[in-house]
Structure 1
Amino acid sequence: MSSNAHTEDEWARMQPHITKLYSDEAKPLKEVMEILEQGYGFHATPRMYKHRLQKWGLDKKYKEREVIFMSLLKQQRDALGKQSVFYVRGRRVNWGQIEKYLHRRPDLQTKIRAGMLKLNSSGSDVVCSSPPPDPILHASITLQYTDELLRLLDGYYTSKFVGIPVTDGADLVRDDSITIRCLRKLDQARTMIYANMVEFGFRILNEALDDLRFVVRGEYATLMFDLFDVVTLFDQRHSSLTTELLRHAYGILLITFGDRHPLVWLMRRFIALPERDRYEIIASLMKAVVERCERLNVNGRMVERIKCHHFLLLDHMEVNETMTTTTFPEIDVATQDAVSTGYLGRLAGRLIFNQQFEEADRKTEQMLPWLQSPENRPNPCWPDIQMFYYHIRAHGTLMRGDDEAGQAWLEMVKQHSARYFSEI
């Protein structure tokens, strides 16, 4: 393909890969271009890349006003004994690069040290915060954290729902295809990594984390529960990976909302807590949110979703003493949508894990009316839900020891992937 033949849609498809390589991994532009050429057959000139990077706000060059803003703010915070971490246009700043910039500009450095410049808010693309605390805290602080988080989240959810009529709130119950895709990829990545298919698993995990950025920006009512899916994705065998996921989620929240948002505070505290305390707090927070939403008379479908998510996370964390479907919220068939169909699939997955195969089959069958309805085929969520269905069928039959049927369902997974997810 010629270097000038790319459409806006083609650039949009490449944007997550370019952002990950250039911004998150801080690779030089030349290396990014080589990776995309070799891995994706995507050719473009350096000038075209630079135009896109600037358009997307990924330019690594710091502006003079940004350097001044960060330098003066750091001076103030240093004087107060506060450590500082800066983000410019969503990318963490390596302070060594700022020092090199000032070394090349001794005139600017002199003015900063002499107090000749004033701190102002011109650094609108700059976010400053204290770094996350060291991951060692005494367990006695857990109750204090829980109490404070409950108060913060109570105010947060009240502000989101008060004044929204029960019959309204379409945005609260929409089928968000990116969230569904993100959760599907998280589930798939965990399965692959546990099966020792590490390279493929981490590839899917990175794609899910790319989607997580957009999930956070949407800030739907289930966002806290979606974040808990990330926090609890892996067990103690992968504790270091869990810590990295926590830090990654914290970084996304910080960049998106700033350091005063309740969910930012929540993630920052979770980084410092041992898993057992983390799970205890999650269970308490989820219960409080469900009760709060019921008291606020929130849209019934939204409450249904929150209750489903609550149940599934409790079981995944093994907080439920026994797996019983009688406590799983009843899903209204008349209003069944992509999200509730996905919850049925996740419940089936948990039932398979607990070797309750017959009940898992029943829940999986309940996914079919939505999947087989012609009016749902154009829904952007449909390919992910259908993939989820095939994956559950394959998992269930293989867990039963029926290798032949399991391989047949895996073939369906491959065919569906080739048709709808060519990147897999």
Structure 2
Amino acid sequence: MERDHHFVATVKMYKSRIWKWGLDKKLKGDEVLAILILKRDRDALKRPTEFRIRGQLVDFENIKRYVKRNPALVAKLRAGHKPNVQTAREVTCRTPSPAPGQVLNSSADLYGVEKILGLFRDYVDGSFSSGAWFCEYNVDCGSSLLNNGDRSNELFERVIASFALVNRCMMREP
């Protein structure tokens, strides 16, 4: 800090700032009490839960160790004691996000159709991104290719006709 920022502080200054900013690693009795209350409520709902103190993920094994060393905290919980309001704001809980699941594969019957549609999508995207086809919203769509022997112009016209048909179907009132 001194070399990079020309800031000199004593150990006591660092410790007081770390405590003031809430960056210390120690669990406090009120924080653990708040977590125990939240856990009791979440267990009643049968929900998996992860706890955070000031945004830092808390390992529940640390909470168990703290309670084992301080059994009076369980007595406070049973007696209905509540943590102070500031501590209650700093402790949060949430249901953990599910682990990324396996990718759903299409059935063998749809594999060919899916492959063809994927190739078609890539062809259309490539035609627009290369500038071979262009479309101005609600104005004009066309092809910049002038080669009459090229079948992409014919495909382009069919794609435009298909989208026009889909638009007409969607505009109909039910």
- TM-score when normalising by structure 1: 0.23
Deviation of 1:52 after TM superposition, in Å, equals: 2.9
Q: 1:324 to 1:121 in 2, by over 3 A?
A: farther
Match of 2:149 in 1: none
Q: How does 1:199-278 map to 2 (within 5 A)?
A: none
Match of 1:321 in 2: 125
Q: 1:6 to 1:320 in 2, by over 3 A?
A: farther
Deviation of 1:45 after TM superposition, in Å, equals: 4.3
| 2:4 is aligned with 1:56 | no
Q: Percent identity?
A: 35
1:82-113, Cα deviation, whole Å (9 max, x unpaired): 1110111111001122122212211112332x
**SS of 2:97 mapped into structure 1:** coil
Conserved 8 A contact 1:73-1:119: no
Match of 2:53 in 1: 88
AA partner of residue 79 (structure 1): A
**SS of 1:81 mapped into structure 2:** coil
**Greater relative CO (CA pairs within 8 A, separation 6+):** 2
Conserved 8 A contact 1:67-1:98: yes
AA partner of residue 125 (structure 2): E
Deviation of 1:119 after TM superposition, in Å, equals: 5.2
AA partner of residue 126 (structure 1): V
- TM-score when normalising by structure 2: 0.51
1:356-409, Cα deviation, whole Å (9 max, x unpaired): xxxxxxxxxxxxxxxxxxxxxxxxxxxxxxxxxxxxxxxxxxxxxxxxxxxxxx
**SS of 1:321 mapped into structure 2:** helix
1:198-241, Cα deviation, whole Å (9 max, x unpaired): xxxxxxxxxxxxxxxxxxxxxxxxxxxxxxxxxxxxxxxxxxxx
**CA–CA distance in 1 between the matches of 2:96 and 2:50?**
6
Conserved 8 A contact 1:102-1:108: yes
**CA–CA distance in 2 between the matches of 1:111 and 1:96?**
20
Answer 1 or 2: which has greater strand percent. Answer: 2
Q: How does 1:68-217 map to 2 (within 5 A)?
A: 68-112=33-77, 115-118=78-81, 122=85, 123-136=88-101, 139=104
Conserved 8 A contact 1:86-1:126: yes
CA RMSD of aligned residues (A): 3.4
**SS of 2:99 mapped into structure 1:** coil
Match of 1:14 in 2: none
